[in-house]
């Protein structure tokens, strides 16, 4: 265990549903029967192809079963391995891909209950995000209301690519509920694949799909800012998960420039987008899309103009780095402390509560 | 009208002390659609009259999102003798080319019929656009160079149009728009790149167009400001595709110019591509070096709309990462978000860096003496 990381709060790890059968005990009878009778396949998204190198670090890949599906391994590799005091479980089961709102709501309930019973009850260092049926706003709000009393749920989880841009007013009841309960909105890489993953259609290669996540995060930030989400919900925190962060400065330069020229169209955006983002938006550390040299990374961090933006993450079990090199080398000590502990605690109000 | 309009500014004073510049993004417009008539068969004129042009968006006239200004233009760019901004060569010379000492101006005609649903109509209009550029523009002002406008959704016809223009001194580049129906690196477009490489012409990818796909991976946004901002994401997606699908690897002499899509995003995109490719390279054995190296050796960027960090000096880091030799100055005349060459680059730089950015880089890319 690297001592420099001791006590870190890991804001993005991925415990996995081992298979659809594991959720059967958590599905209501009607849906359990549907799954069995109709032979519903495992909801495994192509966002992380099972055997792709990025999906699991070689030394974390189990001989059988899905990476991240075994609690003992997660304890050993993700928690003990880095000395993390807490880790936030973002379950990437493909609930958001479903076309049926009812089925999505049923699976969201099952995943959240499974998470509470099989993971949170058994490992006190774990916290989790609430999976919601984003296909239907009312149902998503219901699920937030149902889970929020369990203080171990610390965030609402969305995917970066769904049916419509996330700033759209149809989603605002979700943000109202999240703000009311002190839950940040976590937006994770991944798509419902209801739209092509790029603005110019479907690519040929998985490499393009993964790179395209960063462009999707950029457009979602644009949408959240321009629609006025942070004007209406000033206390809301949005956390971009597995988004990369080195694209942020250039994106804010462009968005802020266009806001100066086009604010007549969005008069409710009453501050520069760069200021809004620095106040309301956070990003997890991994992947660090930067060259290995220390100087370039320090320049990028300077361009971000805030040391409050980054939250520590390992992205376990995804293969973003080797060994225990979860933190890029050469970061100033004061920034390291913020990334590892202070920024996560400031972002997730519920992490500072006694969960017992 | 609730907004006060400033009086149209007088043409800028000639600035003898200023550097001569290349403007790599000028938008010539036709005074009316009839200007294409000499090069358009009567059947196509009849077709346009009857059915309209039909882009891959829903309006009979006008852009998908209402723009910020009529015709997206500077308020002072309407020619005094009538017509749309950009439609009068005389006024363009007086307002822009002469006072700003434009030594090389690259014409990028927009709204000409690229990306139409009907690819045969698109081909006819693109051909007419190219003839019109010679007849009305480049033959009348030696500073101007035309773009080979191609109906890119039909690659074979596009390649033929490029071959027809190869070697003609009026043409500086091939022009595509960024919002294609499929990612730019898709095999359906390869004949275009092959023909451009054979003709020795760079391929410019100008932001805008209608490919029919939602402009984000999460669907359609609400506002013009979102559409404008997202041109950067669209250009990133196109460039990723050109690299990962292997177009740049297969055609090492092919030069790509990203026009009006921003440039400050390029370093971070290269780093992300490199990281992803190191992990996933077994998927793309046709790539023999880091993706960012293709950007560094085969891609140029026009500067307008120039990103404006606070503090502005941050942009110097970004330009150093991209390479001073990769940036081509552009104004976007006559559009509202025009960058004035006298004010657009208030950064400390060496004389040779500025000379490259304002003129020499463009001369090198376009083979302009």
Instruction: Find the mean pLDDT for residues B210-234.
Output: 97
SS3 content of chain B, % helix, strand, coil (to 5): 40, 10, 50
Residue of B nearest to A196 (CA): B217
Nearest CA in chain B to A261: B337
Set of chain A residues whose Cβ sits within 8 Å of the Cβ of B213: 195-196, 198-201
Is pLDDT at A79 greater than 70 in this prediction? yes
Tally DSSP H helices, then E strands, for chain A. Answer: 12, 8
Burial category of A250 from C-beta neighbours within 10 Å (exposed 0-12, middle 13-18, buried 19 and up): buried
Question: pLDDT, tens digit, for every residue of A218-267?
Answer: 999 999 999 999 999 999 999 999 999 999 999 999 999 999 999 999 99
CA atoms within 13 A on the CB side of B257: 31
Query: Are B222 and A167 a contacting pair at CB < 8 A?
Result: yes
Nearest CA in chain A to B314: A303
Domains, chain A, in order of start with CATH, read 3-350 (3.20.20.140)
Domain architecture of chain B: domains with CATH = 21-366 (3.20.20.140)
Q: Residue B246: name the closest of B291, B208, B276 by CA.
A: B291
Paired with B106 in beta bridges are B145
Q: What element of type H or E holds B147?
A: strand B144-149
Residue A312 φ then ψ, to 5°: -60, 140
Round to whole Å and give the CA distance between A32 and A39: 10
Number of Cβ within a 10 Å radius of residue A179: 17
pLDDT digits (tens, 9 = 90+) for B268-305: 999 999 999 999 999 999 999 999 999 999 999 999 99
Whether A63 shows a pLDDT value over 90: the answer reads yes
Nearest-Cα residue of chain B relative to residue A292: B271
pLDDT at B79: 95
Residues of B in contact with A219 (CB under 8 A): 215-218, 221, 226, 229-230, 233
B99-150 pLDDT tens trace: 999 999 999 999 999 999 999 999 999 999 999 999 999 999 999 999 999 9
Q: Is the pLDDT of residue A3 over 70?
A: no
Q: Is the distance from CB of A148 to CB of A174 less than 8 angstroms?
A: no
Are B181 and A200 an interchain contact pair (Cβ–Cβ within 8 Å)? yes
Per-residue confidence (pLDDT) for residue A5, from 0 to 100: 86
Contact B213 A199 (CB under 8 A): yes
What is the per-residue pLDDT for B368?
Answer: 77
Residue B202's CB is within 10 A of a number of other CB atoms, namely 23
CB contact under 8 Å between A201 and B181, yes or no, is yes
What are B192-203's pLDDT values in tens digits? 999 999 999 999
Question: How far lies A49's CA from each of A55, A56, A68, A190, A215, in Å?
Answer: 7, 10, 14, 12, 20
Chain A residue with the nearest C-alpha to that of B317? A299
Q: What is the ipTM of this complex?
A: 0.97
**Residue A271: CB partners within 8 Å, gap ≥ 6?**
none
User: CA distances (Å), A114 to each of A23, A98, A109, A192, in order?
Assistant: 7, 19, 8, 22
Residue from B213, B229, B344 to probe the interface with A (highest A Cβ count within 10 Å): B229
In this prediction, residue A328 carries a pLDDT of 94
B149 phi and psi angles, rounded to 5 deg: -80, 125
Between A129 and B12, name the one with better pLDDT.
Answer: A129
Which of A305, A257, A310 is closest to A281 using CA atoms? A310
User: Which of A56, A162, A199 has the highest number of chain B CBs within 10 A, making it the mutation to test binding with B?
Assistant: A199
pLDDT band for B225, please (50, 70, 90 cuts): very high
| Cα A16–chain centre separation | 14
Q: Do A266 and B223 touch (CB under 8 A)?
A: yes
Structure tokens of A204? Answer: 């040929």
pLDDT of residue A37: 97
Amino acid A2: pLDDT: 63
Tell me whether B347 touches chain A (CB under 8 Å): no
In chain B, the percentage of residues whose pLDDT exceeds 70 is 95
Residues 275..314 of B with a Cβ closer than 8 Å to A: which? 275-277, 279-280, 282-284, 305, 307-310, 314
Residues in chain A: 356
What is the chain A residue with the closest CA to B264?
A: A250
Alpha helices for B281-366 (secondary structure H): 291-298, 314-322, 351-355, 361-366
Q: What is the pLDDT of residue B12?
A: 47
Q: Which of A293-302, A306-315, B119-128, B340-349 has the lowest mean pLDDT?
A: B340-349
The pLDDT-based confidence of B369 (bands split at 50, 70, 90) is: low
What pLDDT does A292 receive? 79
Q: Is B318 on the interface with A (CB under 8 A)?
A: yes
pLDDT average, residue stretch B226-250: 98
CB < 8 Å from A in window 103-142 of B? none
Do residues B139 and B362 touch, judged by C-beta distance below 8 A?
Answer: no
Residue of A nearest to B312 (CA): A253
Burial class (CB in 10 A: 0-12, 13-18, 19+), B61: exposed
A336-355 pLDDT per residue, tens: 999 999 999 999 999 998 65
pLDDT, position A173: 98
Nearest to A289 among B238, B272, B321 (CB): B272
Give the chain A residue nearest B337 (alpha carbons). Answer: A261
What is the average pLDDT score of chain B?
A: 94
Q: Is residue A226 classed exposed, middle or buried when 0-12, 13-18 and 19+ CB atoms within 10 A define those classes? A: buried
Q: Which residue of A has its CA nearest to B306?
A: A254
Tell me the chain B residues in contact with residue A201 when contact means C-beta distances shorter than 8 Å: 180-183, 186, 211, 213
Checking DSSP bridges between strand B102-107 and strand A126-131, what pairing results, if any? unpaired
- Chain A CB contacts of B278 below 8 Å: none
* pLDDT per position as a tens digit, B296-341: 999 999 999 999 998 899 999 999 999 999 999 999 999 988 899 9
Based on the number of CB atoms within 10 Å of its own CB, is A336 exposed (0-12), middle (13-18) or buried (19 or more)?
Answer: middle
Q: What is the pLDDT of residues A80-111, one digit of tens each?
A: 999 999 999 999 999 999 999 999 999 999 99
What is the pLDDT confidence band of residue B2, given thresholds at 50, 70 and 90? very low
Q: Is A204 close to B245, i.e. CB distance below 8 A?
A: yes
Structure tokens that stand for B316 in this block: 């110097």
Burial of B346 (0-12, 13-18, 19+ CB in 10 A): exposed
pLDDT recorded at residue B17: 47
> Quick one: pLDDT at residue B5?
41
- Each as own residue / partner, the long-range contacts of residues A256-263 (CB below 8 Å, 24 or more positions apart, any chain) are A256/B308, A257/B305, A257/B307, A257/B308, A258/B225, A258/B228, A258/B229, A258/B305, A259/B225, A261/B68, A261/B336, A261/B337, A262/B68, A262/B224, A262/B225, A262/B228, A263/B225
Between CA A216 and CA B236 the distance in angstroms is: 11
Spatial separation of the C-alpha atoms in residues A10 and A311, rounded to whole Å:
8
Residue B343 has what pLDDT?
86
**Rg from Cα positions in chain A:** 19
The angle that helices B119-133 and B42-51 make with each other, rounded to 10 degrees, is 120
Burial A108-139 (b: 16+ CB within 10 A, else e): bbbbbbbbbebbbeebebbbbbbbbbbbbbeb
What strands, in cross-sheet order, belong to the sheet with A9-13? A9-13, A86-89, A126-131, A153-161, A185-191, A238-241, A281-284, A310-311
B351 touches chain A (CB under 8 A): no
For B:144-173, CB contacts with A below 8 A are none
Residue B188, token pair as written in the block: 């359906």
Average pLDDT over residues B222-234: 97
Q: Which residues of A touch B230 (CB under 8 A)?
A: 199, 218-219, 222
Instruction: Classify burial at A4, counting beta carbons within 10 Å of its beta carbon; exposed 0-12, middle 13-18, buried 19 or more.
Output: middle
Distance from C-alpha of B193 to C-alpha of B180, rounded to nearest angstrom: 15
Q: Do B183 and A202 touch (CB under 8 A)?
A: yes
Within 8 A of B244 by CB-CB distance, chain A residues are 203-205, 207-208, 211
pLDDT band at A1 (very low <50, low <70, confident <90, very high): low
The pLDDT > 90 percentage for chain B reads 88
Closest in A207, A218, A264 to B283, CB measured: A207
CB contact under 8 A, B309 and A162: no
Contact B317 A163 (CB under 8 A): no
Residues in chain B: 369
Distance from CA of B238 to the nearest CA of A (A): 7
The per-residue pLDDT of chain A, averaged, comes to 97
């Amino acid at each position: 265990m690297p001592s420099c990381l001791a006590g870190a709060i890991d804001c993005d790890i991925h415990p996995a549903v081992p298979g659809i059968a594991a959720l059967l005990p958590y599905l209501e009878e009607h849906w359990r029967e549907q799954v069995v009778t109709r032979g519903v396949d495992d909801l495994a998204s192509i966002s992380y192809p099972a055997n792709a190198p990025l999906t699991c670090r070689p030394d974390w890949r189990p001989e059988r079963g899905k990476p991240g599906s075994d609690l003992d391994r997660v304890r050993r590799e993700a928690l003990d391995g880095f000395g993390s005091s807490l880790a936030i479980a973002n379950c990437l089961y493909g609930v958001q891909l479903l076309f049926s709102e009812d089925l999505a709501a049923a699976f969201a309930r099952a995943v959240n209950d499974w998470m509470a019973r099989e993971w949170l009850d058994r490992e006190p260092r774990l916290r989790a995000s609430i999976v919601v049926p984003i296909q239907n706003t009312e149902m998503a709000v219901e699920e937030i209301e149902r889970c929020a009393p369990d203080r171990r749920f610390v965030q609402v989880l969305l995917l970066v690519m769904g049916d419509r841009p996330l700033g759209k007013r149809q989603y605002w009841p979700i943000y109202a509920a999240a703000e009311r309960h002190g839950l940040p909105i976590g937006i994770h890489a991944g798509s419902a694949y209801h739209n092509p993953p790029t603005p110019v259609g479907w690519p040929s290669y998985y490499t393009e799909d993964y790179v395209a996540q960063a462009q999707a995060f950029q457009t979602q930030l644009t949408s959240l800012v321009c629609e006025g989400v942070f004007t209406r919900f000033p206390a809301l925190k949005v956390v971009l998960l597995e988004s990369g962060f080195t694209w942020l400065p250039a994106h804010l330069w462009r968005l802020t420039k266009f806001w100066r020229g086009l604010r007549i169209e969005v008069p409710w955006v009453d501050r520069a987008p760069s200021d809004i983002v620095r106040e309301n938006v956070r990003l997890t550390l991994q992947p660090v899309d930067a060259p290995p040299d220390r100087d370039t990374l320090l320049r990028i961090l300077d361009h971000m103009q805030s040391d409050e933006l980054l939250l520590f993450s390992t992205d376990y079990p995804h293969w973003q780095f080797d060994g225990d090199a979860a933190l890029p080398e050469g970061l100033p000590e004061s920034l390291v402390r913020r990334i590892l502990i202070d920024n996560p605690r400031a972002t997730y109000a519920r992490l500072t509560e006694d969960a017992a | 009208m609730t907004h006060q309009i400033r009086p149209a500014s007088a043409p800028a004073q000639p600035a003898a002390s200023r550097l001569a510049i290349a403007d790599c993004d000028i938008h010539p417009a036709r005074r009316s659609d009839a200007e294409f008539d000499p090069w358009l068969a009567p059947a196509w004129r009849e077709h346009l009259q009857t059915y309209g042009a039909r882009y891959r968006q829903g309006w009979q006239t006008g852009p998908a999102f209402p723009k910020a200004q009529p015709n997206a233009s500077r308020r002072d760019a309407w020619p005094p003798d009538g017509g749309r901004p950009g439609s009068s060569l005389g006024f363009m010379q007086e307002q822009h080319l002469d006072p700003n000492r434009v030594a090389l101006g690259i014409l990028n005609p927009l709204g000409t019929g690229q990306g139409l649903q009907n690819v045969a109509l698109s081909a006819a209009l693109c051909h007419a656009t190219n003839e019109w550029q010679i007849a009305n523009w480049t033959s009348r002002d030696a500073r101007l160079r035309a773009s080979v406008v191609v109906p890119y959704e039909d690659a074979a016809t596009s390649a033929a149009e490029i071959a027809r223009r190869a070697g003609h001194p009026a043409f500086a580049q091939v022009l595509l728009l960024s919002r294609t129906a499929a990612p730019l690196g898709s095999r359906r477009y390869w004949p275009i790149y092959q023909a451009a490489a054979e003709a020795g012409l760079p391929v410019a990818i100008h932001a805008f167009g209608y490919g029919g796909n939602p402009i984000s991976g999460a669907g359609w946004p609400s506002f013009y400001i979102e559409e404008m901002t997202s041109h950067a994401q669209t250009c990133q997606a196109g460039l990723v595709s050109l690299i990962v699908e292997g177009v740049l690897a297969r055609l090492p002499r092919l030069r790509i110019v990203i026009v009006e899509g921003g440039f400050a995003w390029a370093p971070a995109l290269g780093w992300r591509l490199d990281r992803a490719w190191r992990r996933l390279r077994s998927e793309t054995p046709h790539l023999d070096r880091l993706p960012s190296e293709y950007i560094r050796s085969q891609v140029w960027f026009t500067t307008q709309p120039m990103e404006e960090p606070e503090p502005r000096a941050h942009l110097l880091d970004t330009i150093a990462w991209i390479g001073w030799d990769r940036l081509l100055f552009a104004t976007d005349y006559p559009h509202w978000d025009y960058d004035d060459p006298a004010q657009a680059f208030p950064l400390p730089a060496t004389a040779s860096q500025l000379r490259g950015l304002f003129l020499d880089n463009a001369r090198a890319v376009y083979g302009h003496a």
